[in-house]
Amino acid sequence: MTPLDAVFLLAEDAEPNLSLAIASIAVFAGPVPTLKELRAHLIGRLPLIPRYRQKVREVPLDLAPPVWVDDPSFDIDRHLVRTALPSPGGDAELRALMGRVMSARLDRDRPLWQNWLVEGLARDRWALISKVHHCMVDGVSGTDIYRAVLDPTPVPCVVPSDEWLPDSDPSAARLVLDAVAEVVRLPARQARALAGILVRPSGWPTRLVAAARGSVALAGSMWPARRTSLTGPLARPRHYSWASTGKDTVDTARREPGGTFNDVVLAAVTGGFRALLLERGEQPTPTAIRTLVPVSVRAPGAEGVRDNQVSLLLARLPVHLDDPLDRLMAVRAELSSLKTGGEAEAEALLTSLARFQPFPLIAAPVRAAAHAPQHAVVTVTTNVPGPREPLYCLGRELLEVVPYVPISSRMRIGVSIFSYRDRVTFGLTGDDSATDLDVLGSGIENDLRALGNRRRVGSSRLPDRRVRSPR
């Protein structure tokens, strides 16, 4: 396990009300398969996802990052759950189920994944909730699991034969000996890495300058955000909702003013948070919301590697602006400034260097930081592009994918954005203080409509909500 993967386990250990699993709801056209059919299908795909038959073992005294070991007692039935929505089987019932599923932690004594077969959806549909711990995958490698489990046509693919036999579970003494051996080899690894830089220095001076500049920017981003109801200690129950739009709406919204897909969706999220603050009777200010934006640093072709390969940007959301177009232009300028400022490069370099440090020097500060309150980052906003082509499970067409991002520290709300075929879906996660996620979702959808319509009907300002007195 890499140090970055291990951070998600260390952070979860430090907070009893924290569950750092990522997830998604895949909605399929009917008829619903039996649990036996789904079980046989998933068993056939296990050779494509070796991590699904491995569990985590922690190394005593944090001498090394936790390791993945084969689970000799692996039983797929411990990872499959069958359930049914109560009538009428609509979005409200599915959202409530997702909140309950994601409120519980995954069992550390077993491989860290779980699938829920959900029956009872209206309009002859069914769903599959896929839950995986963040220490195993990030958004990109997690999305690749869909390509392993699902098929590009209604006819199931031919899968490789399964000749898996579990290795023996290592003893604690074996783990300690391996960790000590790795510490002994560490100076040689550091020397080889340094030699590689000296032999092939091309690009390193630029990287180091960018990283230094980005480190200064990251340090400046740690200034506390203005206190609002969006931050505070987390309560265990999770609430969940989502918003969605067509990809053509996003394309239309960005065509005339310019910018990227990510600019538009982050601007829409900004509008959603503005609506939420106003609904709660709080004044949106320029310093109210800073969001963590994960940035993939995964090389092309490495999507199937089950680990985390991400850096980050820390962006201020201009919730104080009342015009959607003004917000879009401000978001575009903010992201452009952060990209040229080197924040992502600095974080990526620190993550790379962590691989060459003794793990106790990493684990101790991470554990301490997890206990320390932070007030700089208010939310997380992650955007992962999904498959553009249709996918199938047991011959049933995948209609929609709804993403889920975990929340941590004092961030009470998180937003995950996922595109599948011609739809873009915003998954909204909240703790027990965020029972009004529908306001956030409506604000996102309203902003997207406003940005799309402006391109066609002009640029009249939109009516703004009044600030009510605090509750």
Q: How many helices (H) and strands (E) does the chain have?
A: 12, 14
Given phi > 0 = left and psi -120 to 50 = alpha, else beta, which region is 310?
Answer: beta
Query: Could you tell me which of 246, 284, 280, 282 has the C-alpha nearest to residue 264?
Result: 246
Helix residue ranges, H only, 296-417? 324-341, 343-354, 359-371
In the numeric block, the tokens 């009907």 are attached to 457
Q: For the chain, what is the largest distance between any 2 Cα atoms, rounded to a whole number of angstroms?
A: 71
Given 134, 239, 371, 375, the catalytic residue = 134
Say whether 112 sits in a helix, a strand or coil. coil
What is the distance of C-alpha 429 from the center of its chain? 11
Residues with Cβ within 8 Å of 471's Cβ and at least 6 positions away in sequence, in order, are: 280, 281
The tokens for 23 are 């997830």
Catalytic (active site) residue 375 = no
Query: Could you tell me which of 386, 466, 376 has the C-alpha nearest to residue 423?
Result: 386
Residues with Cβ within 8 Å of 391's Cβ and at least 6 positions away in sequence, in order, are: 146, 147, 150, 151, 152, 397, 398
Query: Could you tell me which of 26, 298, 299 has the C-alpha nearest to residue 145?
Result: 26
Residues with Cβ within 8 Å of 244's Cβ and at least 6 positions away in sequence, in order, are: 400, 423, 424, 425, 426, 445
Alpha carbons within 13 A on the beta-carbon side of 442: 9
How many whole angstroms separate alpha carbon 434 and alpha carbon 39? Answer: 35
Helix residue ranges, H only, 200-260? 204-221, 247-255
Catalytically active residues are 134
